[in-house]
Structure 1
Amino acid sequence: MTIKIGDTVPAATLMKMTDSGPAPVTTAELFDGRTVALFSVPGAFTPTCSAKHLPGFVDNAQAMRAKGIDEIVCISVNDAFVMGAWGKAANVGDAVTLLADGNGDFVEALGLTMDGSRFGMGKRGQRFSMLVKDGVVSELNVEDPGAFKVSSAEHLLAQLG
């Protein structure tokens, strides 16, 4: 079943690269009592993700925070090492938190997986964005396969009013 507006985000543990190595981050730590802009990419270092999706959120981070966003989070079905390297390569700094959903458990719990096997990528997360307020989804934007429009930072920023 696919998550929808008004649903509570399922419990999961994601991984964040730190100076000491990978560290767990629970969805409770991430979402409870906070407003989070979350977006998912099919893969770190992939063309649309690297050229458009991640840079859009980096470029719009200040504007999103001015509208009440506590944290901007990017997830991908990659490991924490890849996500950390991607963040460094993209000069993300502290604009966006990059979290690994290494086994795809979180996107599977959301009902937002895709099969990237024909590209040699296996199970991945669909491209989407969502606004989560205190653990509850208040906006959800899931892209059609191959598209990049509704999950963009600009679209989510417009939804913030």
Structure 2
Amino acid sequence: MYIYRQVLQSILAGTRCVFPRHISTGVVANMPIKVGDKIPSVDLYENNPGNKLNAAQIFGKGKHVIFAIPGAFTPTCTEKHVPTFVTDISKIKAKKVDSVNCISINDPFVMASFGKHLKADGKVRMLADTCGDFTKAIDMELDLKALLGNTRSKRYAMVVNDGVVTALSVEENPADATCTKSSDILAYL
């Protein structure tokens, strides 16, 4: 009853609740990933739910390009963003990049189909962030529930060297691909 009374009094007074015994009601905010940060140890999926890959392990050694899209088969992703990486794969690989990876909050079957549709097989790895754990861990969530049914990822592109982010670009508008295409990332390599 005491806690209930404290909460009610705080609400009526317009103040923040403070509870005894170190019960915290504060919100711990993630900070968006930035240059110098390590890639989190979170699982991603490739092709099917049985092929689980840990992000910290697969990006822990070597040079990698990671880019994210709000959704497979969406117009900008399908027409203006992912195809740039497929087309420029030889230019990217010439910069001694070990892998190019597309991450989206979709299931692994959708991502595999999306990759086949764009002829990305053997060029761009299509990685599913099925529950958005990777996206949450790097604080790149985007509320697209009204348009796409759930929380999705912001459109971004990054370069990772030995597990550490060395370059990062994030689109302000998820419908745009103005600073996250392959040509933009090539400038960082």
Matched, 1:15 2:48: no
User: Any stretches of 5+ residues in structure 1 without a counterpart?
Assistant: none
The match for 2:183 is 154
* C-alpha contact (below 8 Å) 2:76/2:176 kept by paired residues: no
The match for 2:133 is 105
Following TM superposition, the consecutive aligned residue runs of length 4 or more in structure 1 with deviations greater than 2 angstroms are none
* C-alpha contact (below 8 Å) 1:56/1:153 kept by paired residues: yes
Number of aligned positions between the proteins: 158
Aligned-residue offset at 1:52: 1.3
The answer to which structure has the higher strand fraction is: 1
Other structure's SS at 2:187 match = helix
Alpha-carbon distance in structure 1 between the residues aligned to 2:149 and 2:124? 24
Q: Describe how 1:1-161 pairs up with structure 2 within 5 A.
A: 1-17=31-47, 22-145=50-173, 146-160=175-189
Alpha-carbon distance in structure 2 between the residues aligned to 1:52 and 1:89? 14
The Cα RMSD (Å) is 1.1
Relative to the length of structure 1, the TM-score reads 0.94
CA distances 1:7-65 after superposition (whole Å, capped 9, x unpaired): 111110000016xx640011133111111000000000000000011100001111011
Larger-gyration structure (1/2): 2
Q: For the structure 1 residues 153 and 121, does the alpha-carbon distance in structure 2 shift closer, same or farther, using more than 3 Å as the test?
A: farther
Relative to the length of structure 2, the TM-score reads 0.81
